[in-house]
Amino acid sequence: MTYDYHGHWEAYTGHNSPLYRSSVDSGSHIHHNINSSVAHWLALGAPVEKLLLGFPTYGRTYRLSSAADSLGAPANGPADAGPYTRTSGFWAYYEICHFIGSATIEWISEQEVPYATYGSSWVGFDDKRSYSSKVQWMNANNLGGAHVWTLDMDDFGGYFCSDGPYPLINHLRMSMGNKVSQSVSVRVCKNINTEVNSN
């Protein structure tokens, strides 16, 4: 699970699934990122080929509490629940696609992930660019493959993101060298995670 590193339970904005630490991280938060988590498992002796990198198809939201809107900006709880998931604190990727139509999108270069703001709403999420960065990192570190949480939070019908069905998952498959078909062929694990082997 290389996601849920940050969320509305914190008093400052932070990205859900950053690849690396940021300059605003301090204390134990310096380890709330993919690079640090995987390094920890490897240091404990986990076989690298058994580690699968988690790719979220959702983002974590915040309600900004000042005019600041960058990473590490003061926040007070979650943004409004999404119209479909109806759960405070996160939006499915298809809800994010609707939001970013009117939002300002920024790239966190030191963490290789995007966030978007509109009014007092802030969401840290993944897109094709961040997926590509994570696949490159995963391959460079010889991990066993990838898993996705979760199928139904990608734009499964292709109606919201103007990019066809399953835009994130299909991009992940292509980035890993797999062909994309109309139906996403995946193996669903017991916990509903989707495993996409790199072999």
Distance CA 106, CA 80 (A): 20
**Residues in a beta bridge with 118:** 121
Residue 130, C-beta contacts closer than 8 angstroms, at least 6 positions apart: 17, 19, 112, 113, 114
Tokens of residue 129, six digits = 């660019």
The pLDDT mean for the chain works out to: 91
Instruction: Give the tens place of pLDDT for each residue, 28-64.
Output: 999 999 999 999 999 999 999 999 999 999 999 999 9
Instruction: Give the tens place of pLDDT for each residue, 101-138.
Output: 999 999 999 999 999 999 999 999 999 999 999 999 99
CA atoms within 13 A on the CB side of 182: 0
Q: Is the peptide bond before 85 cis (omega within 30 degrees of 0)?
A: no
Tokens of residue 182, six digits = 């109309």
**Residues in a beta bridge with 197:** 145
Amino acid identity at 177 = G
Mean pLDDT of 154-181: 91
- In this structure, the chain runs to a length of 199
Q: Which domains does the chain have, with CATH numbers?
A: 27-197 (3.10.50.10)
Distance CA 27, CA 171 (A): 35
Distance CA 141, CA 198 (A): 13
Is residue 149 very low, low, confident or very high in pLDDT (cuts 50, 70, 90)?
very high
Mean pLDDT of 182-187: 43
Tokens of residue 96, six digits = 């994010």
The pLDDT, as a whole number, for residue 144 is 96
Q: Annotate 28-60 with b (16+ C-beta within 10 A) or e (fewer).
A: ebeebbbbbbbeeeeeeeeeeeebbbbbbbbbb
Is residue 188 very low, low, confident or very high in pLDDT (cuts 50, 70, 90)?
very low
